[in-house]
Structure 1
């Protein structure tokens, strides 16, 4: 698990700005979705922290389902052999990432220890962010369910998780990134991303905090 932290100066900055440490101190679970980004075997094999966060992701998914919320499993899709990817990543790496999610139904592509249930949303994305226009059906599915709050988990913290969280905030969702249910490349990259999200785009909470919000609607 990452040794995560946000600098105290950032907490102080937000407290001075809005009068409280956290933007969102209450939550309606029935209008909340857990977004699980890119937790597929390809990334489990590359990063052991994916396995470490899996129990927390399961806890959050079970809690939200039980409280009437939604769970969205988001996996990488194949954007095709784009000119950008071939030039930026190189032919071999671009081809590798095109097929990083594997084949078959989305529910069967999840990493070890993760399981979609009836009623969960299953989403394939073709861009870094699952909420970038045209990259997936996620935004439409969330709107159909009346979702106002998104709780973002998954991997990599600094890439697809951050991209999805930023676009969620841009679209007006009350956005919470879960610090101990996301996996980055290393602690420094992870914590730098947490700080940026907390400073500019959304809240950053622990699994324990989010479970309390889902259970009671408020954080004591």
Structure 2
């Protein structure tokens, strides 16, 4: 991914080089894949991000490479059961009633919308985490932080959808919890290319690194 010169100039001025991390120990690295559920990736669902399926090859490639190297793959899924209660302001104030009901229905744990997309290579040894809010690392959202700590993870690679919402929210919290946090640009997608690019520019400027799947694999 190419960044504008004004972005690269500021990053280099801050940290001395464009990319902060030259090597990742696989056993200390987790690929956290956020929300690649049918609800967000498949036609007909309320949350469909049309760009998401194009990222599946990069997601699968990185997941397989990291597993083979001895790292960790974690699939994060949003569950909306009871969200009209625990996230009442979002469901009551920020969604029209018919959209609130669709979200509650299509991301219920018993609905096909909750399931991971069939095209993803999910291994039995992978970890699954259920989250309630945009960020998997927000208070009371999930047990992701405990999972990462138990595995001895120091490097968090973020993929999934959407770049500028759940993925970025989780990644920002990871950075502020002292994880080396990397957005994997070709394993991420957003509703528009502008949202994707702007989110990654801001990420590069202030929060961590942006690499492609092949760049990460080369650093393992």
- TM-score of the aligned structures, taking structure 1 as reference length: 0.90
Q: State how far apart, in whole Å, the 2-side matches of 1:69 and 1:134 are.
A: 26
Runs (4+) off by over 6 Å: none
Q: How far off its partner does 1:103 sit?
A: 2.9
In structure 2, C-alpha distance between the alignment counterparts of 1:209 and 1:115, rounded to whole Å: 20
Q: Which of 53, 60, 73 is the aligned partner of 1:71?
A: 73
Residue 139 of structure 1 pairs with residue 145 of structure 2: yes
Q: Distance in 2 between matches of 1:7 and 1:101?
A: 38
Matched, 1:20 2:17: yes
CA displacement at 1:201 relative to structure 2: 1.0
Q: Give the stretch that moved more between structures: 53-62 or 96-105.
A: 96-105
Q: Partner residue of 1:54? A: 56
> Does structure 2 conserve the Cα–Cα contact (< 8 Å) formed by 1:178 and 1:204?
yes
- For 1:31, the equivalent position in structure 2 comes to 28
* 1:47-196 → structure 2 map (5 Å cutoff): 47-78=49-80, 79-81=82-84, 82-85=87-90, 86-104=92-110, 109-196=115-202
Give the match's secondary structure for 1:182. Answer: strand
State the Cα distance separating 1:104 from its structure 2 match. Answer: 4.4
The structural deviation recorded for 1:100 is: 3.7
C-alpha offsets along residues 132-157 of structure 1, whole Å, 9 cap, x if unaligned? Answer: 12100111011000000000000011
Q: Mark the runs of 5 or more structure 2 residues left unpaired by the alignment.
A: 43-47
d(CA) in 2 for partners of 1:27, 1:191: 25
Deviation string 1:107-142 (CA, Å, 9 cap, x unpaired) is x81113113212211011000001112100111011
Partners of 2:105 and 2:111 within 8 A in 1: no
Q: Is 1:75–1:101's contact at 8 Å kept on the other side of the alignment?
A: no
CA contact (8 A) 1:75 1:123 kept: yes
Structure 1 residue ranges without an equivalent (≥5)? 215-220
CA distance in 1, matches of 2:70, 2:207: 25
Paired with 2:139 and 2:125, the residues of 1 have a C-alpha distance of 24
Please list the CA deviations of residues 58-89 of structure 1 after superposition, one character each: whole Å capped at 9, or x if unmatched.
00100111111100000111252132121122
Match of 2:216 in 1: 210
Q: Is the 8 A contact 2:50 2:191 kept in 1?
A: no
User: Cα distance, 1:24 vs. partner?
Assistant: 1.3
